[in-house]
Amino acid sequence: MREPIKQIIAGLAVAVLLTGCGTITTTGTASPTATATSPSPSPSPTATAAAPAQSLEAAYEQVITNVLPSIVQINTKVGLGSGIVFDSQGHIVTNAHVVGQAKEMNVTVATGGAPRPARLVSSFAAGDLAVIKVERPEGLRPAKFGDSSKLRVGQIVLAMGNPLGLSGSVTNGIVSAVGRTVTEPENPGSPGATIAGAIQTSAAINPGNSGGALVDLSGQVIGIPTLAARDPELGGGAAPGIGFAIPSNTATDIAGQIVKNGKVTDTHRAALGIRGRTIVGSDGEPAGVGVVEVEPGGGAEKAGIRAGDVIMSINDKKTPTMAELSETLTTLKPGDQARVAVMSAGAEKTVNVTLGQLPAD
């Protein structure tokens, strides 16, 4: 499936350094004429280093063997992506941008087999998540999802999916950072979703990886690879080694709601109650968020914000673009009070807004 940005290739080189053991000599005590025994031979450095390398390799192999049967390739009429088997009923969690506008698609297990027809259950575009359901769930193996709140920077992780249509591909890396907030660029294949608490990883994420699994060495899914960074200094080209995944706790919460209710009923996200767009100043730079529409009865309307106003900041944090406004709101909760600086009729004012909940669609 078309990615929100071009994805990149990165990897992790693992070096193991072991301290050598000194030679041990043993003195005989049977008689005064006894001499020291011959020194024990030192272990070969190559043999010593091979043991932990083989152990890590075995761990990789075990994780891949256990998890890859839970990864699927999703094909729509316009592209492909990846997904994770969520339960034994045939529900599969993936990215909303992988599904796009499609209501029907085909699913193939990464380890092989015939394609299976599937249908969309529901999408949560604002969080770039979706659930689809295959018609024939027999033989599908649900993945084990871990607790992403326990992730540690430096953990080794594997990204599993179908990059460039290469089914069942695996790349490795580490957890580079946690708790990032990233916004996808808007385009026909992506609604410009904002991902709160994103996992940053050096594992390679390429087109087709989206919706797949970021897995720890215990074989648990701890994230869903979604996008990779672009470097403006490279003309928007890929920034090597910087990819982002939706935390597993977020994915399982949203997917669980969809499976139970057929839709997302609690986004856990704050909303101002406006529709807006980035305003560009006379210098050509972003200058704020222009209010295009105000939700009737929402927090913004109650605070006196009107269509045509320009939002300059929230809680003293500047919001020159719609993306930055969305990112700021991810740090707040429904029901919170927010100070919103607004340019209205040529004059700047600050109003207090009681934040509502971001709707699911």
**238 and 295, same structural domain?**
no
**274 and 295, same structural domain?**
yes
Q: Is 126 helix (H, G, I), strand (E, B) or coil?
A: helix
Which of 110, 221, 211 has its CA nearest to residue 166? 110
Q: H or E element: which one contains 58?
A: helix 45-67
DSSP string for 204-225: -B-TT-TTSEEEETTS-EEEEE
**Structural domain count, the chain:** 3
In the residue annotation, 167 being an active-site residue is answered as: no
Q: How far apart are CA 191 and CA 194, in angstroms?
A: 9
- Of these residues, 123, 128, 216, 248, which one is catalytic? 128
- Of these residues, 123, 148, 210, 248, which one is catalytic? 210
CA 271 to chain CA centroid, Å, is: 22
**215 and 282, same structural domain?**
no
Q: What is the DSSP letter of 145?
A: B
**For position 39, what pLDDT does the model report?**
45
Q: Is 67 helix (H, G, I), strand (E, B) or coil?
A: helix
**For position 230, what pLDDT does the model report?**
76
Structure-token pair, residue 4: 């929100």
Q: How far apart are CA 43 and CA 24, in angstroms?
A: 12
Q: What is the DSSP letter of 163?
A: G
**For position 16, what pLDDT does the model report?**
19
Q: What is the DSSP letter of 8?
A: B
In the residue annotation, 361 being an active-site residue is answered as: no
**341 and 322, same structural domain?**
yes
**Which CATH number covers residue 305?**
2.30.42.10
Q: Is 46 helix (H, G, I), strand (E, B) or coil?
A: helix
Neighbours of 250 (CB within 10 A): 20
**237 and 161, same structural domain?**
yes
Q: In whole angstroms, how far apart are CA 250 and each of 223, 245, 357? A: 9, 11, 16
Within 233-321, residue ranges assigned H as helices are 248-261, 299-302
> Given 89, 104, 134, which residue is the final one in a domain?
134
**257 and 152, same structural domain?**
yes
115 lies in some domain: yes
Phi (first) and psi of residue 220, to 5 degrees? -100, 140
19 lies in some domain: no
The residue written with tokens 């709160």 in the block is 196
**255 and 153, same structural domain?**
yes
Q: H or E element: which one contains 238?
A: strand 237-247
**For position 44, what pLDDT does the model report?**
53
**For position 87, what pLDDT does the model report?**
97
**130 and 107, same structural domain?**
yes
- Of these residues, 70, 82, 97, 248, which one is catalytic? 97
**75 and 168, same structural domain?**
no
**Which CATH number covers residue 81?**
2.40.10.10
Q: How far apart are CA 255 and CA 243, in angstroms?
A: 22
| Structural domain of 335 | 270-357
94 lies in some domain: yes
CB 232 within 8 A of CB 239: no
In order along its 361 residues, the chain shows pLDDT tens digits of 443 333 322 222 222 122 222 222 222 223 333 333 344 455 555 554 566 777 999 999 999 999 999 999 999 998 999 999 999 999 999 999 999 999 999 999 998 899 999 999 999 999 999 999 999 999 999 999 999 999 999 999 999 999 988 999 999 999 999 999 998 877 665 667 999 999 999 999 988 999 999 999 999 999 999 998 877 776 666 677 899 999 999 999 999 999 999 999 999 999 999 999 999 988 999 999 999 999 999 999 999 999 999 999 999 999 999 989 999 999 999 999 999 999 998 899 999 999 999 988 7
31 lies in some domain: no
**For position 129, what pLDDT does the model report?**
97
32 lies in some domain: no
Structure-token pair, residue 15: 């070096």
In the residue annotation, 97 being an active-site residue is answered as: yes
Please enumerate in sequence order all residues whose Cβ is within 8 A of that of 86, keeping only pairs 6 or more positions apart, or say none.
92, 93, 131, 142, 143, 255, 259
Structure-token pair, residue 228: 């990779």
Is the full-model pTM beyond 0.95? no
